[in-house]
Amino acid sequence: MSALSGVGVGRGIAAAKVLRMPEPLAPPGDAPLSAPVEEEQARVQAALGDVAAELLARAASAGGEAQQVLEAAALMAQDPAILDDVRARMDAGANAERATWDAYGGFRDLLLSMGGYMAERATDLDDVAQRVVARLRGVPAPGVPASEEPFILVARDLAPADTATLDLEKTLALVTQDGGPTSHTAILARSKSLPAVVGVTGLLDAVRDGQRAIVDARTGSIELDPSDDAIAAARAEREERLAAASAPITDGALADGTKVPLLANLGSPKEAANAVALGAEGVGLFRTEFLFLDAASAPTVEQQTAAYTELLQAFPGKKVVVRALDAGADKPLAFLNDAHEENPALGLRGIRALRASEQILRDQLTALAHAQGATEAELWVMAPMIADVEETEYFVALGRELGLRTVGAMAEVPSIAVLADQVLEAADFVSIGTNDLTQYTMAADRQLGSVSSFQDPWHPAVLRLVKLLGEAGAASGKPVGVCGEAAADPALAVVLVGLGVTSLSMSPSALADVRAELLTVTLEEARARAARAIAARSAAEARERAAG
């Protein structure tokens, strides 16, 4: 038996045979055009339309976060700039396949150079290019292999179109060589409650088709060629966890009765009903970008008010935390800031971009205030990427001016933790975005597989920053929540509560596991686990100490 390790997603475990994703299509050759250029250009346009239609059809059947990801991929197939690039290359003599391949490759390199959110789209572009070239060749696009029995899917990485429509009766777990805990593979695996391990160095050289394996998302480990007894134990544990997930839904609490509200991270009002059904006690992070990212101009106050009202109406009497527009250089918007920056993750984004275009921020906060007045939800509003008390005071004052009752700050930059006592003098609350907080603390791009081992919220440096925020919250009597996906890790959720976090927000599919784990410890025990974790010298040691 041998073992591999990566970054685990979720708490599940699976034991089955491995199936590997087929290798991608080979790059096209440089053969000359086989028909008049106008005919070939029309053929490319038709292929792009067919691929877009296929992706939209998959989106409609997928729903939730998967639907949003697939719809974004369909837009990439319909992008007029890419079609113009393909036509120009064909006018210069390239054949249809080569022109398409190189056009998408050029856009892919551009996105990678921008980093952050835009770099996340690079894998999506690769998938769209593969599908269009396959259509031009008249062959099936590479995809998830068919199987008559359950399997563990192994791949270099997975495209959104593949992950979003997996057969969950057959696919028991995902393992990828590339990607990190916030990649699309991780996001979609989490949304489907599917155990996954990503960023596994050497995976494709070590694993073969048909090989037996055990994937444990809690430890981020993959055991190859396990014994029959180990297989049986893993399968029994999986059945036990599935049974526990179907237990009656209760509010989040520790074993001693300490309340820990469990909230949902949402990206659209359409996701509210599912969150409520899974037991969300409110919303800890509502991402408003869906209104802005595909728009040619900023949405009006009326358009925004309608969307926010729809969301708030789904949670009468419950807390709903809305994040102001989180965009800027890494998610360029022509009407906000689309200037090129060498390092967009450290550029004009979040609250910085909003201050530079204050009318957009004023309109958004005005719309939120209108929705607040029209519904019975308890609206909280926070600004992204707050660095210090001056930024906090600016945002809180503007929110109060425009009629918002509860205004806070998002903790994603390490400086806010160092200055937490000052920030909480001005803010009504703080919510910790652990994805970015980890990225900035460890100087590790959260989308870069080569540094994924650093992108781990269990690292003691990250936990100590959370502790600073938790202590400042307790001293000021103000709430400090976590809305990063670290909250979806049940073992880490216990540690976060022990560090002073007062609420946890996550993908709705993770609520059951976290709820069950919290009920196994008292507040004293959670604090003891937290103390052991922050005394560790590495993320792996922190996990071990917390479990010990």
Catalytic residues: 184, 483
Pairing of strands 283-287, 262-266: parallel
Contacts of 271-280 with CB under 8 Å at 24 or more apart are 271/64, 271/65, 271/508, 272/311, 272/314, 272/315, 273/314, 274/64, 274/508, 275/508, 276/314, 276/315, 278/249, 278/508, 278/509, 278/511, 278/512, 279/249, 279/250, 279/511, 279/512, 279/515, 280/508, 280/511
Q: With b meaning 16 or more CB within 10 Å and e meaning fewer, what string describes 187-216?
A: bbbbbbbbbbbbbbeebbebbeeeebbbbb
Look up residue 415 and give its two tokens.
Answer: 């400086």
- Measured in whole angstroms, how far is the alpha carbon of residue 390 from the centre of its chain? 29
Distance separating the N- and C-terminal Cα atoms of the chain:
25
Shortest CA distance to 369 belongs to which of 320, 333, 402, 346?
402
Neighbours of 230 (CB within 10 A): 15
Given a contact cutoff of 8 angstroms between Cβ atoms, the answer to whether 295 and 332 are in contact is: no
Half-sphere exposure of 497 (CA within 13 A, CB side): 31
Shortest CA distance to 511 belongs to which of 293, 291, 282?
282
Contacts of 85-88 with CB under 8 Å at 24 or more apart are 86/41, 86/44, 87/41, 87/44
Look up residue 192 and give its two tokens.
Answer: 């489907």
What phi, psi does 429 have (nearest 5°)?
-165, 165
Given a contact cutoff of 8 angstroms between Cβ atoms, the answer to whether 454 and 490 are in contact is: no
Given a contact cutoff of 8 angstroms between Cβ atoms, the answer to whether 175 and 216 are in contact is: no
Strand partners, 9: 196
Given a contact cutoff of 8 angstroms between Cβ atoms, the answer to whether 10 and 206 are in contact is: no
Given a contact cutoff of 8 angstroms between Cβ atoms, the answer to whether 102 and 88 are in contact is: no
